[in-house]
Amino acid sequence: MNLSKIKIFWLLFLIKFAEANILYDVLKQRTGDPCENLYRHTCPLGVNRTISQELEKSINPILQKFDETQDAVRKTYSFLKIDNIQRIIESAIESMTFIKICEKFNLTKGVQYLENILEQTKKVMIEDIKNTNWLLKHNQTDIAIRVIEKIYLTFDSKNQEKVKFFFKDFENCFNSCLKDFPNSTEVCVTHGYECAAKHNFTWIDLIKTANGVNEHNKIINFGISFILYASQTQDEVLKVALIASLMAHELSHTMMNSITASNDNILSYFPPKAEDCITKQYESTCKTYKEIKCFMTFRQLEEAGADVIGMNLAYKLFKNIINQSASESILKKLNLSNIDQLFFLTYWSILCRPEKITTTEMKDHPANNIRINAVVQLPEFQKSFNCSADSTMMKSRTDQCLIYGKKSKFK
């Protein structure tokens, strides 16, 4: 094979590889005008493949092995059973199962990637916190920075280590105790537990849906499909495009005065005008893009707020990581003219649903199409697609709600 043939071979291989990406495939289904309805542009009605479906399907081989792996872990540590420490043992076994799954499916790269993205997201958020006047005025800057700095992912490598040390110390102490007191299994389990308890790990839950959760106690958890996606996706652009908006949203929950988790609010003050600003945008988007029923209620304010803070954060994060030249080949293949377009087309891409969207007043989240179309808030949206002022998206736009950062005008 001569050099040019090798090159062509690799080129074909790379094209094939890029096309095997879920996000890339879905982006090719676009139809209509993003300035008219961004959500239905990237997610046409009746579309037969959605990102969340594909992500959830991708973990089937993992789920098939889950029970088997958990049984094996349970068997290894079957001596641990004792009633008063049952809950911690249960969480240790589930966490260990998660670790074994990560090893079995080679997910270390994905775990590290998500850890790294969280750290970068925290950096951008902290920079904004430092420059936010209303936080300073209400003496909340330091506490906000401290809380953000401490946020971590349940499945991060540090927590995985703690789980492993927990079992190691448990086993060592249990075995040496049993040597000295051969008939005292129960006493030795308690002794083992006392040795291991210092490794205060966080329960690693396996989320099967394509979703993330901010547990509101400095912990963020992510669906295992994202770890798998991050492990298997080579292209940095496609990787960050799928994950940035979700990560930024989850982190932003901590900086949104929480209604649903009001007992652990970190902020004692949140500008009422910021809440009004968010509500106005979502009401306007709801009015414009109602498909069956659309409500924006007080109950949805926390999620809408995490979206508004998150979209600003995700945009900065995306631009920090991706530059024009790195994304050139993807842009060309998708017929896009700039990376901002790629950001907006992939913003919250897991929210695509093929059927008409409806919502009720009881839901905590605004309707999926409203969440995506509210991204018109960012001035870069109009610029990137060159939308005219009288396009439907632009007419649905209300005042920009810049809650954090130098440019925030809230008091």
Contact 266, 296 (CB under 8 A): no
For 186-225, give one letter per residue: b (16+ CB within 10 A) or e: eebbbbbbebbeebebbbbbbbeebbbbbbbebbbbbbbb
Contacts of 236 (CB under 8 A, 6+ apart): 321, 322, 326
Beta bridge partners of 293: 358
Name the segment binding Zn ion (CB under 5 A); options: 181-189, 231-239, 261-269, 299-307. 299-307
Strands (E) in 197-238, as ranges, are: 212-214, 219-222
Q: What is the DSSP letter of 84?
A: G
Q: Whose Cβ is closer to Zn ion: residue 70's or residue 254's?
A: 254
Look up tokens 């910021």; give the residue: 274
Do residues 126 and 247 lie in contact, with contact meaning Cβ atoms separated by under 8 Å? no
Q: Name the segment binding Zn ion (CB under 5 A); options: 10-18, 127-135, 215-223, 301-309.
A: 301-309
Please report, in angstroms and rounded to a whole number, the separation of the first and last CA atoms in the chain. Answer: 68
Q: Least distance (Å) from Zn ion to the CB of residue 253? A: 6
Q: Could you give the CA distance from residue 330 to residue 235 in angstroms, rounded to a whole number?
A: 9
Write out the binding residues for Zn ion, residues 302-321 only, by CB under 5 A: 303, 306
Taking the mean position of all CA atoms in its chain, how far away is CA 286?
24
Please give the C-alpha separations between residue 204 and each of 161, 281, 388, 411, in angstroms, as whole numbers.
12, 36, 48, 39
Partners of 358 in beta bridges: 293
CA-CA distance, 347 to 311, in Å (whole number)?
8
Q: Nearest-CA neighbor of 105 among 22, 229, 276? A: 229
- CB–CB of 218/159 below 8 Å? no
Pair 249, 372: CB distance under 8 Å: no
Instruction: Map residues 237-276 to x or -, x wherever contact with Zn ion holds by CB under 5 A.
Output: ----------------------------------------
Q: Which is nearer to Zn ion, 102 or 351 (CB)?
A: 351
User: Nearest distance from residue 254's CB to Zn ion, in Å?
Assistant: 11
Listed residue (210, 212, 206, 167) closest to 69, CA to CA:
206
Nearest CA to 102 out of 144, 159, 186 is that of 159
DSSP state of 43: S
Could you give the 3-state DSSP secondary structure of residue 296? coil
Size of the site for Zn ion (CB under 5 A): 2
- Quote the least distance from Cβ 306 to Zn ion, whole Å: 5
Binding interface with Zn ion (CB under 5 A): 303, 306
